[in-house]
Amino acid sequence: MSERKQIEISKEKIEEQEKYIEMLHRKNEDEFIKTGKRKSFIIQTFGCQMNEHDSEMLISMLESIGYSRALSEDTADIVIYNTCAVRENAELKVYGNLGHLKSIKRKRPDMKIVVCGCMMQQEHIVEEIKAKHQHVDLVFGTHNLYKFPELLASTFESDKILVDVWDIDGEVVEGLKSNRKFDIKAFVNIMYGCNNFCTYCIVPYTRGRERSRKPKDIISEIEDLVKGGVREVTLLGQNVNSYGKTLEEEDRISFADLLRRVNEIEGLERIRFMSSHPKDISDDVIYAMRDCKKVCEFLHLPFQVGSTSLLKKMNRHYSKEDYLNIIKKAKEEIPDLAFSTDIMIGFPGETDEDVQDTIDICEEVRFDTAFTFIYSKRQGTPAAKMEDQIPEEIKHKRFDKVLSVINRISGEKNHLYDGKIVEVLVEGASKKDSSIMTGKSRQNKTVNFTGGDESLVGRLVNVKITDPKSFSLNGQLAEVVS
């Protein structure tokens, strides 16, 4: 498809939805004139940064329609659950929340209940909602988020549950607006979907296959964000290292080249990205991180397990030695680099020796942070059919053992910052104490400091660390950088 045709398709789709936004906005304004009360919404987001960014776009649509934010689900006119299919606990929370809303819906039948996101891309989940949660008004998936205004309008024409889940990947629709959680930081999708098919993971089935955005569209979005006051962007993709592979030849660039282009954007101060897959990260990406001053010294590189045999069973396409070689190269090129990772405990066939391999990697790499989680079966994945499943009791014991190592190392790493000066992008006042300001260092450390006030929000400051904790750094303002 030609670039011009793609632009026309995106424009047509956005314009069509704007008609529904205008119609619903007029409806809400008429009701406000009659009642003096604004309609309200609340969104609960489960899962990753991709889901968070999807919710930001849904919020922008709702506010354009005329909805304000509600304080709780009990009072909201629209409740939206943007779901995650990666962890079983997230699914159970969604079902629990839907059960809670059932009695509220009886008292306020005009309230709208919407369930969207990755869970909805699984047919058995949708069937369960239709059978057990008939008080839900709307169900849609990950491929047609841009159609939300049209789908919402349709719920006012029927008292039956509306299901609109697409089985195939749609085109990348450009031009959707976001209402960001922070004014100074923003998520920017550079690609959608995943082609890796790890045996435990449902993402390729819920997010679809890889589709990269054109570099000029990414650059244009970031330039507009910077004009609006954004100082830091996080580039998002299920596997950013494979960015560009699905682009037409005239647009195709590597992820390393994209980092270099984003680094040239005037006014932007910081660049982060996630997630990286070890099988695809190249030396060129490491060199780009080293050479681009705006790219933060922070690398999230999931290894999942330390056992090469389990990695093969997971279809990860790298070994324990491969992973450690990447870390070694990155440390040599970027001495101040901080690392985070994902660690899975309890994958089918895991032994005590495999767990020790995982601990060995943690001790050698010395991660600053790690997202440690217990494997849970995902229906439709190869791992769910494996016979050598690990008993829950053993999973939890192993999880606690690994977590204690991670927490110890994290505390030791943080205490190395005692007396050091770190650059912090100020995000606001601490929720616990308004006299204390908080923000993130370039290494993604949470830094709380005294000596500042709200006028510093969005500014870069230097902070002297005086009291490092296991999960944050405390200090005093040293100077304002910019």
Task: Confirm whether residue 362 is marked as ligand binding.
Answer: no
Count of CA atoms in the C-beta half-sphere (13 A) of 69: 9
Token duo for residue 367: 């991660």
Task: Confirm whether residue 116 is marked as ligand binding.
Answer: no
Span between the terminal Cα atoms of the chain, in Å: 44
Structural contact between residues 290 and 334, judged by C-beta atoms closer than 8 angstroms: yes
Task: Confirm whether residue 48 is marked as ligand binding.
Answer: yes
Token duo for residue 340: 């985070």
Cα distance between residue 482 and residue 32, in whole Å:
44
Count of CA atoms in the C-beta half-sphere (13 A) of 119: 25
Task: Confirm whether residue 292 is marked as ligand binding.
Answer: no
Tell me how many degrees the CA angle 436-437-438 measures, rounded to the nearest 5. 125
In the block, which residue shows the tokens 């001790």?
Answer: 363
Task: Say if strands 338-345 and 298-300 run parallel, antiparallel, or are unpaired.
Answer: parallel
Task: Confirm whether residue 84 is marked as ligand binding.
Answer: yes
Rg (CA), the chain: 23
Cα distance between residue 191 and residue 168, in whole Å:
16
Cα distance between residue 87 and residue 89, in whole Å:
5
- Cβ contacts of 212 within 8 Å, gap of 6 or more: 190, 191, 243, 244, 245, 246, 247
Alpha helices, DSSP H, located in 156-206 = 203-206
Supply φ then ψ for residue 2, to 5 degrees: -70, 155
Q: Among residues 169, 149, 154, 183, which one has the least CA distance to residue 212?
A: 169
Distance of CA 242 to the CA centre of its chain: 17
Binding site per annotation, positions = 48, 84, 118, 194, 198, 201
Binding site per annotation, positions for [4Fe-4S] cluster = 48, 84, 118, 194, 198, 201
